[in-house]
Structure 1
Amino acid sequence: MIRTGAQYRDSIRAGRDIHVNGERVRDVAAHPMFRPLVDIRARIYDMAHEPETAEAMTVRRDEALQAVGNAMPFSQGDWWAKRRAADLVMETIGGVVTRVGDETVGEMWSLHDAAEALDEIDPRFSANIARHVARVVNDDVFHISANADPKGNRSLPPVAQDPDMLLHVVRETDAGVIVSGAKFETAAAYANQSFTKPTIANWGDVDQSDYVIGFISDLDAPGLKFICRTGFAGRAPAADYPLSNRFDEVDTLVVFDQVLVPWENVLFYRHTRAAKLVRATLHRYSAFPYIQRNLKLADMLIGAALYNVRQTGLEREQAVQEKLAMLACYREGINAHLTSAIALAERSPAGLMMPNQSLVYAGRVLACSKLNEMMHIARELCGGQIALTPDAAAFSAPETADFLQKYYSVSAEWGAEDRRKLLAFARDLLNSDYAGHRLTFQLFGQAPPFTHLAAVYRNFDFDGPLAFVRHAAGLSDEVMDEKAGADASSSLSAWFSTRLAGDGRDAAE
């Protein structure tokens, strides 16, 4: 079933216990802080039905129509289709949104890949994984991810502090497990379900723990309380903050107060080895659409900066061109990683098509670690007026309008109103509370930077460089990579053969 926007809105109006800015929210679809993103998600659903966009937003599998974003990837062509659909969405809505489902559904595909290994650890839940992977596709739900906990004192083990600091199982019942604790979840107040799991990286020597629980959380379940940060929408006029008012994705502390998780929703439980396995492979698919958002954000930085230097006649200055080139290199670096990750795609353990893991994780490091630097370059190119320009009301007020019309009209092509709109856009993109929030979100949105680098370390092929240096330096055949343990004389040729073969690409593509 491909949902409509109206069906999505109806699905989140189940009387949830939602609070924001000290207020109980009665209708999350209509509340001014949530409505902009609800409208965007509804628009994405409707794009799957509209003649102009339906072909790009849907795919037919086994005689059933599926949303491209939710459909499991079996080929490189599937990834090109996902990339085109995500670009189409952001170009249609005129901005960048991160948590709308296509970037988190990949975690379910990671579970699909891990099902056999999880089955060896605990065979009770593999059928649940298969059913929920299918449900995301067939029911077209708005699916999100729940990872971050309130943390507490991380120098102490969970059992040495308030147990609710980390989500945990309180007790088992015939119907399921009862859980308490809390999770931070972006978009939880207006999504349908989340894949909820632990974030502990180091379980030590513990084999089993009540803090090991991975499950599908029905966000309409009794006992959930949603405590949201105050949104940026509505704080200031939309004319002055066009991005804050349209694209703020509200983050939520979801409190689980003795919540029943039915056994059929449990995906793994108690075994720390299962939690480690899921954590290690969690982002193998979701990293791709996440990075794609950074690509569109880079386009926004370039466009805002380039329009500003053209307005003020500085485009031909060499120093300006150099900074624009730096933004372009950042953008094309992300584009190159995304493109090559598809071109050198790999088969997953369960037969899905993964973006090349080394390339996609390296691309994520580039996109996230350089973003703050690129934003500062864009600020410099936009000039000091993005921090100094009066609000829109001053441009129409009788006592100030004439002065602002005079001082903000820069040419026959660029009148004061267009100049004001561009500066307001750039201010909201680079300098506002919203801009700072987005920068911090990019830093931690898919785990912190050390985890990004750890993923690169785990997935980069170190055997090739070792073999190349062994050959170039004339080292003895006894010098071998401990991890590979392969014959030194054949390692180099095997590595080059793999590269020439395309790292597992589909021959037909």
Structure 2
Amino acid sequence: MLRTGQQYRDSIRDGRRIWINGERVKDVTVHPQFKPLVDIRARIYDLAHEDATRDILSYEENGERYSVGLKLPHSRDDWHAKRLATDTILEDVGGVVTRVGDETAGEMWSLYDGQDILNEVDPRFSVNIRNHIQRVVDRDPFHVSANTDPKGDRSKRPQDQDPDMLLHVVKETDAGIVVRGAKYETAAAYANQAFTKPTIANWGNSELSDYAVGFVCDFSSPNLRFIARTGFAGRAPAEDYPLANRFDEVDCLVIYDDVLIPWENVLFYQHTKAAAFIRATLHRYSAFAFVQRNLKLADMLIGAALWNVRQTGLENQQAVQEKLATLACYREGINAHLTASITNAEKSPGGLLMPNQSLLMTGRVHACSQLHHMMHIARELCGGQICVTPDAASFADEEAGIWLKKYYTLNENWDSNDRRKLLAFARDLLNSDYAGHRLTFQLFAQSPPFAHLGAVYRNFDWNDALRFTKKSAGLSDRILTAQR
């Protein structure tokens, strides 16, 4: 059931209505600001068919091959296979991509785990959850997620302002529910479907709400509109901004203008308890894939900084080594949390094997909260030339290029061309609009810092620290009763 890259491209030529920079997009697969990531997603599909990578990115079952990234995790071997598959993809494409499908499939597994709680409030939709998870495995779609709404005035209930500020149900029909509103969604313009979930709203004491709804939305559905932010690809030459031109995953405001969601695509509806539960457990699995991407980003920071100090002969200075060691500690801290979360993996409520939640969530805090510090350390190590170096066209100029060759050639091993390429890469990684977007995107793709720390609070085992301190301090048993 594995798709090819061409089958993926054909699947998104479905007449969807997309705008970017005030322009209606005729074909998202060839538009210059979408094409680089469409090509990468197509490349990922094709990797699963190539001899060298087929057995890393796919597995065989009952005579068919399926994606490793979309497989429900039941063992540590499953998680090791997922990690290897992601590393293989990132190695092949040469950098970090955030939304390519495997990371958002995990959000559906959280629904799978929550079936008992969802059944308590409304038993209608469990079969839909199971069917959709299996459908993702069987059909291999590019599956993303619909995250936050415009929200409006957060001091008010959604019902007390323009009701469309939060996505909500406006009508029930025999065929399904009709929804209206908007969602910010990365990669929506060139994905096949999204798990659309609610933003936690100011519901008060409401048990039922038309805003508490989760469903799978087919992006070929009528009455959807995709309004994209300006992309980075094509804004400046690729020679000067190599990352921005390859890895910009364009985000959209997706408008749901009375979109019909068939009943079989509805995963939960109306019950605020169910919606709150899903939001609290949403990243139980998907956080692993996002944090693993931070690991590869850490490798890029270290590589850019280390190549720079080596080519300029500064690697043996103690102050430089201390900064490089700080970057290494950041990188290995991420690696240790990921490795330990698999080693100490735990059974989920639905019988799956999930990464150890305390280790995974504390690893996410480490990876995200320290990223801006690590980027600044890498800037220091790369030096001021990343912000003053002329562009590639000047290096190629018949007259100016002579002078740039003279002043940017370091020795017989580092000529001006390699020096320029490294500085351009570092500038795009650390200083460009794209670099700032990547850093800010952490607050969207992985949720804001308070939510990260909230997940740690919910998953850390506080009892052992209390037990040990009670014993060490000689406290009486009465405090156990008071604690309860």
TM-score range, shorter chain: over 0.9
Distance 1:455 1:62 in 2: 38
The AA in structure 1 aligned to 2:347 is R
Which residue in the other structure is 2:307 paired with? 307
* SS of alignment partner, residue 480 of structure 1: helix
* SS of alignment partner, residue 125 of structure 1: helix
* SS of alignment partner, residue 209 of structure 1: strand
* SS of alignment partner, residue 309 of structure 2: helix
Tell me how far 1:277 sits from its aligned partner.
1.1
Distance 1:100 1:19 in 2: 21
Tell me how far 1:203 sits from its aligned partner.
3.1
Which residue in the other structure is 1:424 paired with? 424
Tell me how far 1:200 sits from its aligned partner.
1.2
Aligned CA distance change for structure 1 residues 205 and 4 (closer, same or farther; 3 Å): same
Any stretches of 5+ residues in structure 2 without a counterpart? none
Distance 1:462 1:125 in 2: 35
CA deviation profile, 1:394-442 (whole Å, cap 9, x unmatched): 0011120110000000111000000000000000000000000000001
For the Cα contact (< 8 Å) 1:463–1:481, is it kept in 2? no
Which residue in the other structure is 1:501 paired with? none
For the Cα contact (< 8 Å) 1:369–1:443, is it kept in 2? no
Distance 1:305 1:325 in 2: 11
The AA in structure 2 aligned to 1:164 is D
Tell me how far 1:312 sits from its aligned partner.
0.7
The AA in structure 1 aligned to 2:71 is A
Which residue in the other structure is 1:60 paired with? 60
Which residue in the other structure is 2:196 paired with? 196
Distance 2:336 2:481 in 1: 30
The AA in structure 2 aligned to 1:398 is E
* SS of alignment partner, residue 124 of structure 1: helix
Distance 2:113 2:308 in 1: 47
Tell me how far 1:477 sits from its aligned partner.
2.3
Which residue in the other structure is 2:405 paired with? 405
Tell me how far 1:242 sits from its aligned partner.
0.2
- Residue 132 (structure 2) pairs with residue 135 (structure 1): no
The AA in structure 2 aligned to 1:292 is Q
Distance 2:481 2:313 in 1: 57
Which residue in the other structure is 2:338 paired with? 338
Which residue in the other structure is 1:460 paired with? 460
CA deviation profile, 1:55-90 (whole Å, cap 9, x unmatched): 100122354321000001000000000000000000
The AA in structure 1 aligned to 2:191 is A
Distance 1:154 1:75 in 2: 42
For the Cα contact (< 8 Å) 1:2–1:65, is it kept in 2? yes
For the Cα contact (< 8 Å) 1:466–1:481, is it kept in 2? no
TM-score by length of 2: 0.99
Distance 2:157 2:399 in 1: 63
For the Cα contact (< 8 Å) 1:287–1:361, is it kept in 2? yes
Distance 1:243 1:462 in 2: 43
Identity percentage of aligned residues:
68
For the Cα contact (< 8 Å) 1:227–1:254, is it kept in 2? yes
For the Cα contact (< 8 Å) 2:76–2:353, is it kept in 1? yes
Tell me how far 1:444 sits from its aligned partner.
2.7
For the Cα contact (< 8 Å) 1:201–1:276, is it kept in 2? no
* SS of alignment partner, residue 99 of structure 1: coil
Aligned length: 484
Aligned CA distance change for structure 1 residues 405 and 481 (closer, same or farther; 3 Å): farther
Which residue in the other structure is 1:104 paired with? 104
Which residue in the other structure is 1:95 paired with? 95
Which residue in the other structure is 1:285 paired with? 285
Distance 1:203 1:331 in 2: 41
Which residue in the other structure is 2:329 paired with? 329
The AA in structure 2 aligned to 1:363 is G
Tell me how far 1:443 sits from its aligned partner.
2.7
Distance 1:339 1:430 in 2: 27
Q: Greater CA deviation, 470-479 or 431-440?
A: 470-479
- Residue 80 (structure 2) pairs with residue 80 (structure 1): yes
Which residue in the other structure is 1:415 paired with? 415
* SS of alignment partner, residue 217 of structure 2: strand
Which residue in the other structure is 1:235 paired with? 235
- Residue 215 (structure 2) pairs with residue 177 (structure 1): no
Which residue in the other structure is 2:158 paired with? 158
For the Cα contact (< 8 Å) 1:29–1:38, is it kept in 2? yes
Distance 2:467 2:302 in 1: 41
Any stretches of 5+ residues in structure 1 without a counterpart? 486-509
Which residue in the other structure is 2:395 paired with? 395
Tell me how far 1:202 sits from its aligned partner.
4.9
Distance 1:34 1:68 in 2: 26
For the Cα contact (< 8 Å) 1:207–1:271, is it kept in 2? yes
* SS of alignment partner, residue 245 of structure 1: coil
Which residue in the other structure is 1:368 paired with? 368
- Residue 240 (structure 2) pairs with residue 218 (structure 1): no
